[in-house]
Chain A
Amino acid sequence: MARAVTNQRKAINTAVAWGIGLLIFFPILWIFILSFKTESDAIKTPIEILSATWTLENYGVVQERSDYGKHFYNSVIIAVGSTLLGLIIAVPAAWSMAFVPSKRTKDILLWMLSTKMLPAVGVLYPIYLLFIQLGLLDSRAGLVIVLMLINLPIIVWMLYTYFREIPGEILEAARMDGATLKSEILYVLTPMAIPGMASTVLLNVILAWNEAFWTLNLTAAKAAPLTAFIASYSSPEGLFYAKLSAASTMAIAPILIMGWFSQKQLVRGLTFGAVK
């Protein structure tokens, strides 16, 4: 039986939860508000800021001064590229581990997870050196490869937990009916696996978009994504609050929206299936 809840208690819950929710969200809201103010208004007191006039000029200035478009393009290529490349490599691996498990499957999965624990700074110089040798420093291709590798364990794990939920009997039935391995994957598995794969892609694009160790240390002017674009605002020249806000809004808005759609997958992906 559902618990009877008085409207009064519900109203209190609502008020407290909304209060805390808005408090936590406030910094993001504030960035958004400041991005529509002039520089001289943006440094005033909060009340003066709210009553000041609204403007769109910051967005134009940011694009003009630091070429938002180029960095956005780099971010998209790096995030989407590394995720898709990871998917191509991970799907066969996760498929075989989920449907043809062997005694070593568990060990392999755990070992893959352990590579994720390798602290980036521990291998910073080797990667830096290899990148110089291979001409990958400050290239999008280099970052696609590195981010693919650091997210590959998560992609394999997420796909594995999704694939394992697909009932094996269906595959066996297909096999009995004489389906080849190829048609089994193409016509039986893929349609059932697409929702899980979509969630995996979503979460990994988010993770790659926000990655801020390798993207800061392996790029300069050419391949810098939005993480580095924003970091360039850390040494301000004169008034810059409104422009920083506009730049920040443009850097986080796409991923914030994607993130809200992937809440549920986030839990599964980031706990490696341990919490569902």
Chain B
Amino acid sequence: MATQHSRSAARLMMAPAVVLLLGWMLIPLSMTLFFSFKKYLPLRGDSLENGLEWVGFENYARFVGSSSFWPSVFTTLLIVGGVLVITVALGILLAILLDQPMWGQGVVRILVIAPFFVMPTVSALVWKNLFMDSTNGFFAHTWRAFGMQPIEWLSQASMPSIIMIVSWQWLPFATLILLTAIQSLDSEQLEASEMDGAPILSRFFYIVLPHLSRAITIVILIQTIFLLSIFAEIFVTTGGAFGTRTLTYLIFQRVLESQNIGLGSAGGVYAIILANIVAIFLMRIVGKNLDA
């Protein structure tokens, strides 16, 4: 039984982490909220010292009303959705494959998860130049070898290119987690169904997939949180051009490039709300796991 003494000691030990995270959350968040109701264009002479003009919900309305808002939402959803579909589908197949008996399993697993450790700026730049460049890139040489016209990947097929780069980065994550989950599957159950003559597809749909459902949900939710805020991959490849401007990138441009702090802050509040909707689902699942 914990004593009164150890309880207060425990509270004291928790305090630094709680206070720091509380500050990290509340201070910038309240500043963003504050700016989102103000007209704040530092380049046009607005400054905190002279006081900022209160504009109510004007920034919120203008952010949504701008012609780039809905395309950016659409782009964001397309990237998140596309990457999720690719990584989860391929991740399941790869996890099943890696779970099979084979020679050199450990080495293959190392090869497959390697892209996850490549920093986003390296991954984006290398794909952009070494592979997708239309003159000297690997793909261009390959296309020409087959007598085809090389593709201008990042301008003609900008979205598929970005989705491919990001999928390459996140496939290892999905695979690794699904593989961990699949290894906890009771192999006797599979063997029994195999002996009873269940075909491979029904074994997959009735035994493997239901067993993986929780892991898949977790992969989807965690990836969504990270994918909603991808930045470097767009920053160094297209810079938001060719229809690849995500919500995150649009806000970044409003805040740091055009220095419209009020407008960008209103956009930030939208992004926070969006992320929180996803987060609520994730927390429910993780919370349930805590009780177990």
CB distance from A82 to the nearest CB of B (A): 13
Total A-B residue contacts, Cβ distance less than 8 Å: 304
Q: 0/1 per residue, B265-278, Cβ < 8 Å to A?
A: 10011011011101
Q: Helix, strand, loop or mixed for chain B's interface?
A: helix
The answer to whether residues A210 and B119 also contact, given A89-B17, A112-B17, A244-B130 and a CB cut-off of 8 A, is yes
CB neighbors of A among B38-89 (8 A):
none
In the complex, B187 has a CB within 8 A of chain A: yes
> Which one of A20-28, A51-59, A61-69, A190-198 is at the interface?
A20-28
Q: How far is the CA of A40 from the CA of B90 in the complex (A)?
A: 37
Q: Do the beta carbons of A251 and B119 come within 8 Å of each other?
A: yes
Q: Do the beta carbons of A270 and B173 come within 8 Å of each other?
A: yes
Chain B interface residue number, banded: 35 or more
In the complex, A76 has a CB within 8 A of chain B: no
- Of A24, A124, A149, A231, which one neighbours B171 at CB under 8 angstroms? A24
In the complex, A174 has a CB within 8 A of chain B: no
Residues of A with C-beta under 8 A to B209: none
Residues of B with C-beta under 8 A to A241: 129-130, 136
In the complex, B207 has a CB within 8 A of chain A: no
In the complex, B191 has a CB within 8 A of chain A: yes
Closest to A122 in B: B268
Residues of B with C-beta under 8 A to A226: 119
30 contacts across the A-B interface (CB closer than 8 A):
A3-B187, A22-B111, A24-B172, A27-B131, A46-B142, A89-B20, A93-B14, A100-B2, A100-B6, A100-B7, A100-B9, A110-B283, A110-B287, A113-B286, A117-B276, A117-B282, A118-B272, A124-B252, A125-B35, A156-B17, A213-B232, A216-B235, A227-B121, A227-B232, A230-B122, A231-B232, A234-B125, A245-B126, A256-B117, A258-B117
Shortest beta-carbon contacts, A-B, top 9: A92-B13, A96-B10, A122-B268, A123-B28, A259-B117, A126-B31, A21-B111, A93-B17, A212-B232
User: Which A residues contact B (CB, under 8 angstroms)?
Assistant: 1, 3, 5, 9-10, 13-14, 16-18, 20-22, 24-25, 27-28, 30-31, 34, 43, 45-46, 89-90, 92-93, 95-97, 99-100, 102, 106, 108-130, 149, 152-153, 156, 181, 206, 209-210, 212-213, 216-217, 226-228, 230-231, 233-234, 236, 240-241, 244-245, 248, 251-252, 255-256, 258-260, 263, 266-267, 270-276
Apart from A46-B141, A206-B117, what are 10 other A-B pairs with CB-CB below 8 Å? A31-B122, A96-B10, A110-B290, A122-B268, A122-B272, A226-B119, A252-B117, A255-B117, A271-B218, A275-B215
